[in-house]
């Protein structure tokens, strides 16, 4: 069976997610701010959950319609073929709806009306007055954008940024999906040295190691969709087997993570071990000011402090100035840093070759990109 599917992403990273979906061999049907629509069968749902690194969830579109009144919302939701998708004992529930620039905007009213409409639709086939909801979960997610209602069933469950490896968190960790997307925006490949001088809980080096060793982000977790009646269990098993077969046992990478705080490095090491990539990453306590390397053509991908606390904010000009000096000492390196600090470039002391606006939730951040030369081709 063919399904319409949609994956959300950070605003500004639609192109990265689109490329990831296309690389899975799936047909893109529409790209909007913060989400990419595509088509595929049951295996597409399982593979998207297993392999996509830059989305939070894979949603199966049950229907789309325009609604400007609650009556329209009720009738159109009821008209969707819920009994085709959900068995009699399905534990269906409507999660909090999000609404942007639309007439209907009260999440609790949307939830309530849609809940009633789904029950009415289910009654058509199952002829019950009361649904026990004792079976598998069917989380129904709705977005309303300029009065266009998109109704979906969530096939991921726990958000996909939860790969299962980050049990210990540092102060201001970057999300795994955002870190993966940033790495994909750079030309980094596993044959190039990668350093994160502000590594915190290790998200950048760990995500890079997963990519370099071809380890699927979902390999160690389960998905809500594994319990859905319309996707055979074997389909999930196939995706998991495919993921295991693709892992490169010895990817031969050099990744380094540094941080001034010894405690966060304990977390970083534990996380890398859980992710199965500790052999690729060297973590060490070091002040960024002492960064040095004999090597050329390395990469820095990092998110420096951006002033979450007041005393940190006051230290930012000196910190970014020191960063400019330290990075500048490295020969022929490329560096990429994401920060919401407005004066980052000014104090860093060099204008970025490119900068990109990315929304991290509601926070506007910039990815500053500085490109070094490519290494000369090996003669041989
Ligand atoms: C925004 S956090 C990075 C979070 C990290 N990307 C993660 O996912 O956990 C910034 C990090 O910079 C570290 N830091 C602050 N000043 C530093 C310095 N001078 N040298 C090295 N690390 C520093 C902090 O300890 C903190 O872990």
Using one digit for the tens of pLDDT, what is the confidence trace for 295-332? 999 999 999 999 877 678 899 999 999 999 999 999 99
CATH for the 176-215+247-370 domain, from 3.30.70.260, 3.40.50.150, 3.80.10.10, 1.10.357.10: 3.40.50.150
The per-residue pLDDT for range 116-167, each reduced to its tens digit, is: 999 999 999 998 989 999 999 999 999 999 999 999 999 999 999 999 888 7
Which of 176, 183, 182, 229 has its CA nearest to residue 203?
Answer: 176
Mutate to test the pocket of ligand 1, among 260, 327, 339, 341 (most ligand atoms within 8 A of CB): 260
Query: Of ligand 1's atoms, which has the minimum distance to the CA of residue 288?
Result: 20
* pLDDT recorded at residue 362: 83
**Ligand 1: does its nearest atom lie under 6 Å from the Cβ of 305?**
yes
Per residue in 84-115, pLDDT tens? 999 999 999 999 899 999 999 999 999 999 99
What's the whole-model pTM score?
0.95
On average, the pLDDT of the chain sits at 95
- pLDDT attached to residue 379: 58
**Pocket lining: 326 vs ligand 1, CB cutoff 6 Å:** no
Taking the centre of ligand 1 as the mean of its atom positions, its distance from the CA of residue 158, in whole angstroms, is 27
CATH topology of domain 3-154: VC0802-like (3.30.2130)
Would you list the domain boundaries of the chain? 3-154, 176-215+247-370
| Helix residue spans in 213-309 (DSSP H) | 233-246, 262-275
Q: Is 260 in the pocket of ligand 1 (CB under 6 A)?
A: yes
176-215+247-370 matches 3-154 in CATH topology: no
Q: Is the pLDDT of residue 169 over 90?
A: no
pLDDT at 96: 85
| Residues above pLDDT 70, as percent of the chain | 98
Kindly state if the Cβ of 203 falls inside 6 Å of ligand 1. yes
Of 52, 27, 19, 9, the closest CA to residue 243 belongs to 52
Residue 170 binned pLDDT confidence (cut-offs 50, 70, 90): low
Whole-number Å distance between alpha carbons of 142 and 236: 25
Q: Which of 299, 282, 271 is nearest to 190 (CA)?
A: 299
Give the pLDDT confidence score for residue 309 in this predicted structure. 73
Whether 380 has a pLDDT exceeding 80, the answer reads no
CA of residue 202 to ligand 1 center, whole Å: 10
By most ligand atoms within 8 Å of CB, the mutation choice from 181, 259, 347 for ligand 1 is: 259
Cα 41 to Cα 1: distance, rounded to the nearest angstrom: 5
Q: How many CB atoms are located within 10 Å of the residue 247 CB?
A: 14
Give the Å distance between the CA of 178 and the centre of ligand 1: 16
Say yes or no: CB of residue 264 within 6 Å of ligand 1.
yes
* Ligand 1 atom nearest to CA at 174: 8
For 259-308, how does the pLDDT look when each residue is reduced to its tens digit (9 = 90+)? 999 999 999 999 999 999 999 999 999 999 999 999 999 999 999 999 87
**Looking at residues 172-198, what average pLDDT do you find?**
96
- The atom number, within ligand 1, closest to the CA of 197 reads 21
Asked whether residue 203 carries a pLDDT value surpassing 90, the answer given is yes
In total, the chain counts a number of residues equal to 380
User: For a substitution probing ligand 1, which of 167, 180, 200 has the most ligand atoms within 8 Å of its CB?
Assistant: 200
Residue 377: pLDDT band by 50, 70, 90 thresholds? confident
Per-residue CA distances from 151 to 67, 78, 106 (Å): 12, 11, 16
- How close is the Cα of 200 to the center of ligand 1, in Å? 5
Nearest-CA residue for atom 26 of ligand 1: 200
Q: What is the residue with the minimal CA distance to atom 13 of ligand 1?
A: 198
Q: Please write the tens of the pLDDT for every residue from 336-353.
A: 999 999 999 999 999 999
Q: Which two tokens stand for residue 356?
A: 């990109």
Q: Is 261 in the pocket of ligand 1 (CB under 6 A)?
A: yes
């Amino acid at each position: 069976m063919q399904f319409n599917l949609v994956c959300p992403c950070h605003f500004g990273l639609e192109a990265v997610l689109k490329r990831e979906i296309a690389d899975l061999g799936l047909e893109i049907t529409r790209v909007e701010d913060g989400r990419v629509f595509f088509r595929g069968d049951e295996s597409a749902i399982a593979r998207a959950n297993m392999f996509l690194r830059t989305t939070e969830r894979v949603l199966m579109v049950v229907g789309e319609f325009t609604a400007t009144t609650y009556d329209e919302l009720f009738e159109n939701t009821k008209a969707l073929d819920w009994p085709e998708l959900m068995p009699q004992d399905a534990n269906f529930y409507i999660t909090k709806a999000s609404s942007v620039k639309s007439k209907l905007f009260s999440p609790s009213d949307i939830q309530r009306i849609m809940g009633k409409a789904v029950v009415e639709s289910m009654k058509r086939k199952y002829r019950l007055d009361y649904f026990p909801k004792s079976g598998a979960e069917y989380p129904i997610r709705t977005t309303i954008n300029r009065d266009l209602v998109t109704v979906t069933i969530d096939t991921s469950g726990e958000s996909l940024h939860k790969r299962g490896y980050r049990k210990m968190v540092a102060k201001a960790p970057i999300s795994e999906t955002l870190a993966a997307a940033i790495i994909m925006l750079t030309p980094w490949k596993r044959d190039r040295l990668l350093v994160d001088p502000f590594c915190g809980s290790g998200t950048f080096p760990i995500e890079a190691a997963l990519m370099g060793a071809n380890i699927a982000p979902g390999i160690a977790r389960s998905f809500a969709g594994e319990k859905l009646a319309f996707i055979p269990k074997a389909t999930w098993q196939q995706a998991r087997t495919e993921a295991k077969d693709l892992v490169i046992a010895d990817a031969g990478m050099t990744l380094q993570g540094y941080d001034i705080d010894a405690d966060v490095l304990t977390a970083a090491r534990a996380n890398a071990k859980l992710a199965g990539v500790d052999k690729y990453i060297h973590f060490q306590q070091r002040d960024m000011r002492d960064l040095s390397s004999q090597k050329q053509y390395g990469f820095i991908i990092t998110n420096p402090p951006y002033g979450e606390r007041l005393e940190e904010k006051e230290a930012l000009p000196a910190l970014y100035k020191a960063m400019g000096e330290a990075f500048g000492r490295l020969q022929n390196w490329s560096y990429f840093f994401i920060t919401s600090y407005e004066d980052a470039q000014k104090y860093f002391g060099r204008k970025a070759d490119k900068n990109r606006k990315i929304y991290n939730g509601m926070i506007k951040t910039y990815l500053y990109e500085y490109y070094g030369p490519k290494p000369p081709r090996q003669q041989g």
